[in-house]
Amino acid sequence: PAEARQGKRIRREAQPAHWFATVSCVYMLLRALALVVGASASAEINCTFAPNECPGVSWDLTPLQQLTHSADLEVAAAAGEVPDEHFWLGVCRSPIEAGQCETLSNISDPAGLQVWRSEAGGEECAPLGSLSTAAWSMASPGNEAEGVLLSFSGGAAGRSMVVRFVCDKSIPKAVLTEATGGSLKYNLTVRAAAACPVGRCTASAGTRHTFATLLAEQEEIRLLYFEQRAKTYIEEVLVPALGISVFYYVMEFAWARRFRDQGAAGRGQIHFHLLGWLESGEPHHIISVGNSRDSVVVTPLE
């Protein structure tokens, strides 16, 4: 009946704000509950790394992991073919937002999420790898200042992700600064003070032993190295300091092992002899400077 329809319509119009507010509150409550449940059930991995090639350095990203217990890191991708593309990341753990994805492609421990707007106007998401495939490495072997990498594979449709953690003491928490890549391979960068390494990279005893052994076996390399150092010292230190205009030097050293084995005589430790002409034509003043016990005075030749 018209009166019933009108009454029903009136009732709907009389309390629209309350009805909307109630639904909104319920929705927000359910979403918050879903996020909490998702956070508590989110998969995690160990968040420390000590590279074998650098025994003196290590990373502990546990503070960043704890930071993302309550909020994911997010960054929007550069404008491209994918509409409204952005990325969610939980450090060493699955993103909380993973609980909002309708499908995770049977990946129960997503390492990160790629989210974009579908043609229908909704949001679609895809995992960027599985936590179970996590692999640590240094961004630049032997140089801890370049940061540390955490790689994941096995994502939706073959997606993979490499997260680079960079030390930035000006950022007390953490910032997901950029996301680049394509063709199902993505690179994310996180900057934070907590991403700074502890200690400095030093060569292991085994590495030092191997290096020393190689030098001992390759005498020509040692000789070439000394010659380059000596030449640099002569040209950049002695020439300007003493005012040398013309010089001649001779390298002397013990013969290589293969010649010594044949009985050839060497000249002791590697060294050089230098004969130089000073621009002034006079002995340099430092030649006449000695200590209180042994002063040397050189008289110029007539």
Q: What pLDDT score does 256 carry?
A: 53
- pLDDT tens track for 235-294: 999 898 888 888 888 887 765 555 555 555 555 678 889 998 888 877 666 655 554 445
Contact 243, 236 (CB under 8 A): no
Q: 130 and 242: one domain?
A: no
Asked if 115 and 98 touch (Cβ cutoff 8 Å), the reply is no
Q: What is the number of other CB atoms lying within 10 angstroms of the CB of residue 204?
A: 13
> Pick from 59, 49, 47: which is nearest to 199 by CA?
59
Does any domain span residue 79?
Answer: yes
CB neighbourhood size of 22 (10 A): 11
**Of 211 and 167, which is predicted with more confidence?**
167
Judge whether 154 and 133 are in contact, CB under 8 Å.
yes
Q: Structural domain of residue 261, as residue ranges?
A: 211-300
* Torsion, Cα of 43, 47, 50, 53 (10° steps): 60
All residues at 6 or more sequence positions from 164 whose CB lies less than 8 Å from its CB, including other chains: 139, 147, 148, 149, 187, 188, 189, 190
The token pair at 287 is 């030649």
Tell me the mean pLDDT in the region 15-44: 46
Q: Please check whether residues 220 and 186 belong to one and the same domain.
A: no
Q: Is residue 164 part of a domain?
A: yes
Query: Which of residues 213 and 39 earns the better pLDDT score?
Result: 213
pLDDT at 117: 85
Q: Domain for residue 201, yes or no?
A: no
β-pairing verdict for 148-152 and 160-167: antiparallel
Q: Are residues 238 and 101 in the same domain?
A: no
Whole-number Å distance between alpha carbons of 3 and 1: 5
The predicted pLDDT at position 264 comes to 54
Same-domain pairing of 234 and 289: yes
Q: How many domains does the chain have?
A: 2
Domain membership flag for residue 30: no
CATH number at residue 57: 2.70.130.10
Rounded to the nearest integer, the mean pLDDT of the chain is 76
**Does 107 lie in the same domain as 235?**
no
Asked if the structure places residue 70 within a domain, the reply is: yes
Q: What is the pLDDT of residue 33?
A: 42
The pLDDT of 19-33, averaged and rounded, is: 43
Average pLDDT over residues 81-87: 80
Q: Is the pLDDT of residue 295 over 70?
A: no
178 and 261 inside one domain: no
190 and 217 part of one domain: no
DSSP per position, 238-286 = IHHHHTEEEEEEEEE-PPPHHHHTTT----SS-EEEEEEEETTSS--GG
Q: Which of 195, 223, 244 is the last residue of a domain?
A: 195
Indicate whether 188 pLDDT > 90: yes
pLDDT at 284: 64
The maximal CA–CA distance of the chain, rounded, in angstroms, is: 135
Residue owning tokens 């000596």: 230
Q: Are residues 117 and 241 in the same domain?
A: no
Segment 115-119 mean pLDDT: 85
Q: Which residue has the higher pLDDT, 61 or 294?
A: 61
Q: How far is CA 209 from CA 157, 203, 216, 237, in A?
A: 46, 10, 10, 33
Q: In Å, how far are 140, 262, 268, 271 from 251, measured between CA atoms?
A: 38, 21, 11, 6
Residue 203 has pLDDT above 50, yes or no: yes
Same domain, 62 and 174: yes
Asked if 139 and 146 count as a contact pair (C-beta separation under 8 A), the reply is: yes
Note whether 189 and 270 are same-domain residues: no
- Asked whether residue 61 falls in the same domain as residue 163, the answer is yes
Residue 187 reports pLDDT greater than 60: yes
Residue 256 sits in the same domain as residue 120: no
Q: Tell me the two tokens of residue 81.
A: 């073919």
Query: Between these two residues, 82 and 54, which has the higher pLDDT value?
Result: 54
